Amino acid sequence: MKAKYILALATIWVLFGSCTEKELSENGQPYETQENSENDDPVVRGEAVIRFTDDMIAMIEDELDKGSIPTKSSELSFIAEQMGIKSMKRLFPHAGKFEPRTRVAGLHKWYTVVFDDSIPFTKAEDDLGSIPGIETVEPVYRSRQTTFNDPEFKRQWHYYNDGTLTSSHKAGADINVSPVWENYTVGNENVIVAVVDGGIDQTHEDLAANCIGGINYVSGGTTIKAHSHGTHVAGTVAAINNNGKGVCGIAGGNSAAGINGVKLLSLQIFEHDPNDPNKDIGGTQGYTAIKEGADKGAVISQNSWGASFETKEDMEAAKKAGIPGYVKDAVNYFIDYAGIDENGNQTGPMKGGVVIVAAGNDGWDWGIPGAYEPVIAVGSIAPDFTRAYYSNYGSWVDIAAPGGSAYYTDGQVYSTLPGNQYGWMQGTSMACPHVSGVAALIVSHFGGPGFTNEMLVNKLINGTRPNVISQSAQIGNLLDAQGAFAYGGTTPPDKVSSYTAEAKSNSVVFKWKVTNDQDDRKAYAYVLMASVNASSLENPNYSSLPSDVISSIVLTGNANVGDELEGSIEGLEFSTPYHVTLAGFDYNKNYSQIAEIKSITTGENHAPVISTEYDGNYEIRSHDVLSVPFEITDPDGHSVEISLFPGSDAVKGEKNPVSGKFVVTFTGNADEPGKYEAVITATDAYGMSSSETIEYEIIPNQAPVIVKDIEDMMFSSIGQKFSLDMTEYIEDPDGEQLKFDIAISDRNLLHINPSGNILNATVLNFGLVNVTITATDSRNETCTLTFQVLTKNQDTLVEVFPNPVIDILTVRTGDEAETGIRIYSSSGATVYNNTSAVSAFSPAKIDMSSCAPGNYRVEVTINGNTYKKSIVKL
Partner 1 sequence: MKKPLVFLLLTAMLSLLSTYSNATGKNEALPFVRIMQDPVHSAMGGAGLASASSIAYASFTNAANIPFSPDSFDAGVSWQSWQPSSTSFINAGGAYNFSGKFGLAAGFTYGINEPYRIFDDNGIEAGEFSPSDIQANIGIGWKFVKNISVGINVKYLGSTLAASHRYEAVASDIFFRAGFGNFSATAGVRSLGSSVKSSSGSSFSLPASAAVGLGYGSVFSNRHEISALLDADYYFSGSISAAAGLSYTFNDLISIRAGYRYGGKSVLPSYASAGVGIKLFGIKLDAAYLISSGDSPVKNTFNIGLGFEF
Q: Cα 480 to the chain's mean position, in Å? A: 26
232 and 220 in contact (C-beta within 8 Å)?
no
| Cβ count near 825 (within 10 Å) | 15
Least Å from the CB of residue 617 to partner 1: 55
- Residue 719 touches partner 1, criterion: CB under 8 A: no
Least Å from the CB of residue 709 to partner 1: 24
Helix (H, G, I), strand (E, B) or coil at 447: coil
- Residue 716 touches partner 1, criterion: CB under 8 A: no
DSSP state of 772: E
Residues 91-110, interacting with partner 1 (CB under 8 A): none
Q: Which residues are catalytic?
A: 197, 229, 429
Q: Which is nearer to partner 1, 593 or 855 (CB)?
A: 855
Q: Which is nearer to partner 1, 251 or 823 (CB)?
A: 823
**Residue 742, CA distances (Å) to 12, 722, 739, 769 in order:** 78, 15, 10, 12
In angstroms, the CA 229 to CA 270 distance is 9
Q: Which is nearer to partner 1, 541 or 827 (CB)?
A: 827
| Cβ count near 119 (within 10 Å) | 17
**Residue 98, CA distances (Å) to 264, 410, 426, 714, 797 in order:** 39, 14, 22, 54, 63
Picking from 257, 266, 258, the residue whose alpha carbon sits closest to that of residue 235 is 266
- Residue 751 touches partner 1, criterion: CB under 8 A: no
Among 114, 237, 290, 871, binds partner 1 (CB under 8 A): 871
Picking from 694, 686, 574, 678, the residue whose alpha carbon sits closest to that of residue 641 is 686
- Residue 491 touches partner 1, criterion: CB under 8 A: no
Q: Which is nearer to partner 1, 107 or 840 (CB)?
A: 840
Residue 808-837 contact track with partner 1, rule CB under 8 A, x = bound: --x-x---------x-xxxxxxxx------
- Residue 69 touches partner 1, criterion: CB under 8 A: no
Among 110, 801, 841, 867, binds partner 1 (CB under 8 A): 801
- Residue 763 touches partner 1, criterion: CB under 8 A: no
237 and 302 in contact (C-beta within 8 Å)?
yes
Instruction: Point out which span in 252-260, 567-575, 605-613, 765-773 binds partner 1 (CB under 8 A).
Output: 765-773
Least Å from the CB of residue 835 to partner 1: 13
Amino acid letter, 17? G
- Residue 553 touches partner 1, criterion: CB under 8 A: no
Least Å from the CB of residue 830 to partner 1: 7
Least Å from the CB of residue 812 to partner 1: 7
> Going by DSSP bridges, is the β-strand pair 253-254/259-260 parallel, antiparallel, or unpaired?
antiparallel
Picking from 490, 515, 510, the residue whose alpha carbon sits closest to that of residue 500 is 510
Among 225, 387, 522, 792, binds partner 1 (CB under 8 A): 792
Instruction: Point out which span in 27-35, 421-429, 635-643, 804-812 binds partner 1 (CB under 8 A).
Output: 804-812
Q: Which is nearer to partner 1, 122 or 830 (CB)?
A: 830
**Residue 551, CA distances (Å) to 27, 596, 693, 706, 805 in order:** 48, 16, 40, 73, 99
Instruction: Point out which span in 18-26, 99-107, 668-676, 796-804 binds partner 1 (CB under 8 A).
Output: 796-804
- Residue 713 touches partner 1, criterion: CB under 8 A: no
Q: Which is nearer to partner 1, 232 or 812 (CB)?
A: 812
Q: Which is nearer to partner 1, 108 or 792 (CB)?
A: 792
- Residue 712 touches partner 1, criterion: CB under 8 A: no
Least Å from the CB of residue 748 to partner 1: 8
Q: Which is nearer to partner 1, 394 or 767 (CB)?
A: 767
- Residue 873 touches partner 1, criterion: CB under 8 A: yes
Q: Which is nearer to partner 1, 7 or 743 (CB)?
A: 743
- Residue 857 touches partner 1, criterion: CB under 8 A: yes
Least Å from the CB of residue 769 to partner 1: 9
Least Å from the CB of residue 843 to partner 1: 9
Least Å from the CB of residue 806 to partner 1: 5
Instruction: Point out which span in 71-79, 218-226, 659-667, 805-813 binds partner 1 (CB under 8 A).
Output: 805-813
Task: Look at the chain and count its residues.
Answer: 874
Instruction: Point out which span in 275-283, 602-610, 633-641, 844-852 binds partner 1 (CB under 8 A).
Output: 844-852
Picking from 307, 474, 305, 312, the residue whose alpha carbon sits closest to that of residue 393 is 474
Preceding amide of 843 cis, omega within 30: no
- Residue 841 touches partner 1, criterion: CB under 8 A: no
Paired with 750 in beta bridges are 763
> Going by DSSP bridges, is the β-strand pair 477-478/399-402 parallel, antiparallel, or unpaired?
parallel
In angstroms, the CA 129 to CA 823 distance is 72
Among 803, 814, 839, 841, binds partner 1 (CB under 8 A): 803
250 and 440 in contact (C-beta within 8 Å)?
yes
Among 850, 863, 864, 865, binds partner 1 (CB under 8 A): 850
Q: Which is nearer to partner 1, 256 or 806 (CB)?
A: 806
Q: Cα 435 to the chain's mean position, in Å? A: 29
- Residue 766 touches partner 1, criterion: CB under 8 A: yes
Picking from 184, 251, 240, the residue whose alpha carbon sits closest to that of residue 208 is 240
- Residue 318 touches partner 1, criterion: CB under 8 A: no
Least Å from the CB of residue 721 to partner 1: 20
Among 799, 819, 844, 862, binds partner 1 (CB under 8 A): 799
Greatest distance between any 2 Cα atoms in the chain: 137
Instruction: Point out which span in 150-158, 206-214, 685-693, 847-855 binds partner 1 (CB under 8 A).
Output: 847-855
Among 802, 817, 818, 834, binds partner 1 (CB under 8 A): 802
Q: Which is nearer to partner 1, 686 or 824 (CB)?
A: 824
Instruction: Point out which span in 405-413, 697-705, 707-715, 803-811 binds partner 1 (CB under 8 A).
Output: 803-811
Least Å from the CB of residue 727 to partner 1: 32
- Residue 806 touches partner 1, criterion: CB under 8 A: yes
Segment holding 238, helix H or strand E: helix 228-238
DSSP state of 465: B
In angstroms, the CA 244 to CA 30 distance is 11
Least Å from the CB of residue 826 to partner 1: 6
- Residue 749 touches partner 1, criterion: CB under 8 A: yes
Q: What angle do the packed helices 228-238 and 428-446 form, to 10 degrees?
A: 40
Q: What are phi and psi of 588, to 5 degrees?
A: -95, 15
Picking from 629, 654, 634, the residue whose alpha carbon sits closest to that of residue 644 is 654
Q: Which is nearer to partner 1, 3 or 829 (CB)?
A: 829
Helix (H, G, I), strand (E, B) or coil at 830: strand
Paired with 340 in beta bridges are 346
Our CA angle for 794, 797, 803, nearest 5°, is 100
- Kindly provide the residue ranges of all beta strands, DSSP E only, lying in 226-275, ordered along the sequence: 253-254, 259-260, 263-273
Among 106, 322, 449, 854, binds partner 1 (CB under 8 A): 854
Least Å from the CB of residue 841 to partner 1: 13
Picking from 175, 283, 264, 268, the residue whose alpha carbon sits closest to that of residue 228 is 268
Instruction: Point out which span in 9-17, 118-126, 130-138, 798-806 binds partner 1 (CB under 8 A).
Output: 798-806
In angstroms, the CA 496 to CA 518 distance is 14
Contacts of 679 (CB under 8 A, 6+ apart): 644, 645, 647, 691, 692, 693, 694
How big is the site for partner 1, counted in residues (CB under 8 A)? 41
Q: Write out the residues near partner 1 by the rule CB under 8 A.
A: 746, 749, 765-768, 792-793, 799-804, 806-807, 810, 812, 822, 824-831, 849-855, 857, 869-874
